């Protein structure tokens, strides 16, 4: 009997609030099985999963950032531009003659300057996020248009800073962030885990997280309940900007370059994965675990298709079709 009593809530959870997660896990396993079945020798190689673990984190962090923006019913269309701008600003810092000299000398100076570069990138991300937050929370501009506009401004500034071509030649310590290994696991993957855990804790265990969910569920009620709504929204966009900058560091570290129009396809993918992961774009619902599962599912899908030599254009089409399919499934599953 005791066992029964313990089991019941678990089953109820699996069928109830965690149904979305279970469903996602099933989709992920299905994709894994299909891709493994279609190309057993290439897909199941250790190398394939290792390369996924390097590419996945930058997109994953952008997806979590998108999810945070969606919690209050908003969206952030400027994340990719913020990521590029942050990486480019740091790249320009490294180009400064004095800094470049010190990095070339190696030793503690190089590491110190890299840390400085990381701080610069994070500051840029935070400032960009705060700008979004001020426009959305204080000036009351609708998030789509505000971030569409700031996205143009950030991408434009990145273009002005670089003059067009890519910035290359980041210090070794910086590229280690994107390509290195720690305890046998990709360094960027560790960063993804840290970001995911921090955001999950913030959303689940802090005032900010709970308030964001409440604002997203019913903005008017949240105001009447005494939640300082505009401040909370401001914080959420600041968080989004900060995460976008982290993604920018990973992207530039992995490719050892940064450009104003890198990763533009990431925007759609971030929206898709956030929605697929159970985030409600109208606000009030979103979980880090769901987003991570959706991320793994789609990374497996696209890596499998790449192994089968499906053209990148067709992969884009499949991503879009997946988004529409998920919309349909979410609708059919939701109580009417």
- Residues of this chain that interact with another protein (CB under 8 A) are 75, 135, 139-142, 144-146, 148-157, 159-160, 163-164, 219-220, 223, 229, 268, 271-272, 275, 281-282, 311, 313-321, 323-324, 327-328, 330-331
Closest alpha carbon to 83 in 214, 283, 246, 248 = 248
Q: Which is nearer to another protein, 146 or 250 (CB)?
A: 146
Nearest-approach distance from CB 129 to another protein, in angstroms? 15
Nearest-approach distance from CB 302 to another protein, in angstroms? 12
Q: Which is nearer to another protein, 145 or 308 (CB)?
A: 145
Q: Phi and psi (nearest 5°) for 216?
A: -70, -30
| Residue 235 tokens, joined | 């914080």
Nearest-approach distance from CB 166 to another protein, in angstroms? 14
Q: For strand 185-186 and strand 181-182, is the pairing parallel, antiparallel, or unpaired? A: antiparallel
Nearest-approach distance from CB 130 to another protein, in angstroms? 14
Q: For strand 167-168 and strand 185-186, is the pairing parallel, antiparallel, or unpaired? A: unpaired
Q: Which is nearer to another protein, 186 or 260 (CB)?
A: 260
Nearest-approach distance from CB 212 to another protein, in angstroms? 16
Q: Which is nearer to another protein, 17 or 261 (CB)?
A: 261
- Give the C-alpha separation, 102 to 105, whole Å: 5
| Residue 289 tokens, joined | 């675990």
Cβ proximity of 240 and 271 under 8 Å: no
Q: Which is nearer to another protein, 44 or 223 (CB)?
A: 223
CB under 8 Å to 269, separation ≥6 — which residues?
Answer: 59, 62, 63, 298, 319
CB under 8 Å to 233, separation ≥6 — which residues?
Answer: 72, 74, 133, 136, 137, 212, 215
Q: Which is nearer to another protein, 191 or 234 (CB)?
A: 234
Closest alpha carbon to 177 in 115, 249, 245 = 249
Q: Which is nearer to another protein, 21 or 268 (CB)?
A: 268
- Give the C-alpha separation, 108 to 166, whole Å: 27
Q: Which is nearer to another protein, 44 or 325 (CB)?
A: 325
Report helix angle 266-276 to 46-71, nearest 10. 80
Could you say which DSSP state residue 136 is in? Answer: I
Residue corresponding to tokens 């180009």: 95
Nearest-approach distance from CB 163 to another protein, in angstroms? 6
Q: CB 106: neighbour CB atoms within 10 A?
A: 12
Nearest-approach distance from CB 241 to another protein, in angstroms? 15
Q: Which is nearer to another protein, 56 or 135 (CB)?
A: 135
CA 230 to chain centre: 23
Nearest-approach distance from CB 117 to another protein, in angstroms? 23
| Residue 237 tokens, joined | 């966009």
Q: Give SS3 for 305.
A: helix
Nearest-approach distance from CB 138 to another protein, in angstroms? 10
Q: For strand 185-186 and strand 257-258, is the pairing parallel, antiparallel, or unpaired? A: unpaired
């Amino acid at each position: 009997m005791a066992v029964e009593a313990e089991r019941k809530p678990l089953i109820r959870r699996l069928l109830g609030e965690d149904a979305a997660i279970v469903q996602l896990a099933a989709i992920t396993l299905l994709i894994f099985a299909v891709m493994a079945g279609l190309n057993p020798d290439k897909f199941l190689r250790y190398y394939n999963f290792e390369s996924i673990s390097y590419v996945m984190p930058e997109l994953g962090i952008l997806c979590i950032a998108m999810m945070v923006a969606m919690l209050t019913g908003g969206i952030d269309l400027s994340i990719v531009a913020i990521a590029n701008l942050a990486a480019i600003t740091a790249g320009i810092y490294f180009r400064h003659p004095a800094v470049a000299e010190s990095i070339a000398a190696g030793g503690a100076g190089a590491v110190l300057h890299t840390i400085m570069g990381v701080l610069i990138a994070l500051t840029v991300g935070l400032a960009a996020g705060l700008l979004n937050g001020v426009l959305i929370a204080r000036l009351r501009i609708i998030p789509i248009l505000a971030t569409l506009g700031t996205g143009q401004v950030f991408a434009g500034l990145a273009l002005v800073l670089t003059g067009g071509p890519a910035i290359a030649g980041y210090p070794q310590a910086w590229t280690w962030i994107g390509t290195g290994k720690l305890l046998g696991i990709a360094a960027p993957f560790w960063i993804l885990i840290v970001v995911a855990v921090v955001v999950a804790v913030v959303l689940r265990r802090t005032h900010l997280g709970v308030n964001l969910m409440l604002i997203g569920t019913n903005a008017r009620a949240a105001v009447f309940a005494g939640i300082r709504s505009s401040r909370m929204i401001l914080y959420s966009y600041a968080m989004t900007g900060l995460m976008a900058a982290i993604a920018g560091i990973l992207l530039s570290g992995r490719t050892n370059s940064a450009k104003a129009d890198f990763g533009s396809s990431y925007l759609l993918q971030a929206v898709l994965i956030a929605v697929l992961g159970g985030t409600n774009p109208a606000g009030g619902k979103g979980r880090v675990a769901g987003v991570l599962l959706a991320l793994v599912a789609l990374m497996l899908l696209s890596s499998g298709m790449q192994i089968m030599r499906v053209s990148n254009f067709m992969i884009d089409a499949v991503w879009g079709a997946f988004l529409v399919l998920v919309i349909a499934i979410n609708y059919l599953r939701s109580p009417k």
